[in-house]
Amino acid sequence: MSTDNSLSVVIPAKDEAGNIGQLVTEIHQVLRDYPHYEIVVVDDGSDDHTLETARRTAEALHCPFQGLRHEYSIGQSGALLTGIRAATGVLIVTMDGDGQNDPTDIPEMLRLAQSYRGRDFCINGFRINRRDTTWKRLQSRLANRIRSTLLGDGIPDSGCGLKLFPKATFLKLPWFDHGHRFLPALVKSIGGELDMVVVNHRERRSGRSNYNAWNRAWAGLLDLAGVMWLLHRTRVAQVQTQTGPESR
């Protein structure tokens, strides 16, 4: 794996015109002195001006930027896949487009990433003080407890949108809808290492969530069963001996 530390911040967004401009501005303020970075916004079939708002903001800031738009919505996991494939960075940071993730947490994640140089890994944010409704916090707490127990990934908040991992690691993983919720377990299944950073969580400034209790619960149960099957069937090769050019 390359030791290049180029970074792409990938943001899937749907109907987030009221939040995306401020988020792009904050990311630029945090990373403007970072040697090689870009912001990649994937508009997942919005009905508003999400992508145009992000593009105009980046242009005003002279910020390295890629914008992509789906013709129609395919979901957050699909938008992440589109953005990560297009990203030029060796390292990927993912963030939600609603502005609840705080860009000031990125430098600590980058610092921690240095200890995993050349390996597969995922650094996951942990939102201890969530700025959501009581009902939403209860749902997430229960879902994370069940997921962590059954998958054994040791991550108490795998649903946090703020994550850092190598692009090469992500591209080794199987893709499926809602797969972003299980990223730590999937990385662990290929022999990758997991770590966690306590992160800030903010109130949504504008708009409303695209998720509700029904689609979270139903999709979560189906996907959890599928991931458990996938992990059961995954085998990681441990190379004992290697000869030839790569062994020199």
Q: Over the stretch 43-95, which tens digit does the pLDDT of each residue have?
A: 999 999 999 999 999 999 999 999 999 999 999 999 999 999 999 999 999 99
- Residues paired with 162 in a beta bridge: none
Structure tokens given for 84 = 């990560």
* CB within 8 Å of 109: residues ≥ 6 apart: 93, 123, 125, 162, 164, 197
AA letter at 188: K
Query: What pTM, to 2 d.p., does this model score?
Result: 0.82
Which pLDDT belongs to residue 2?
A: 45
Angstrom distance (rounded) from CA 68 to CA 40: 8
Nearest in space to 36 (alpha carbons), one of 63, 57, 60: 63
Q: Over the stretch 109-144, which tens digit does the pLDDT of each residue have?
A: 999 999 998 899 999 999 888 766 665 666 666 666
- b (16+ CB within 10 A) / e for 36-46: ebbbbbbbbbb
CATH class of the domain comprising 7-236: alpha beta
Weakest mean pLDDT among 139-148, 175-184, 190-199, 215-224: 215-224
Q: Over the stretch 150-162, which tens digit does the pLDDT of each residue have?
A: 666 778 888 899 9
- Residues paired with 170 in a beta bridge: none
Q: Is the dihedral of CA 10, 11, 17, 18 positive or negative?
A: negative
Looking at the predicted structure, is the pLDDT value of residue 172 above 60?
Answer: yes
Domain edges within the chain: 7-236
Looking at the predicted structure, is the pLDDT value of residue 107 above 50?
Answer: yes
Looking at the predicted structure, is the pLDDT value of residue 1 above 50?
Answer: no
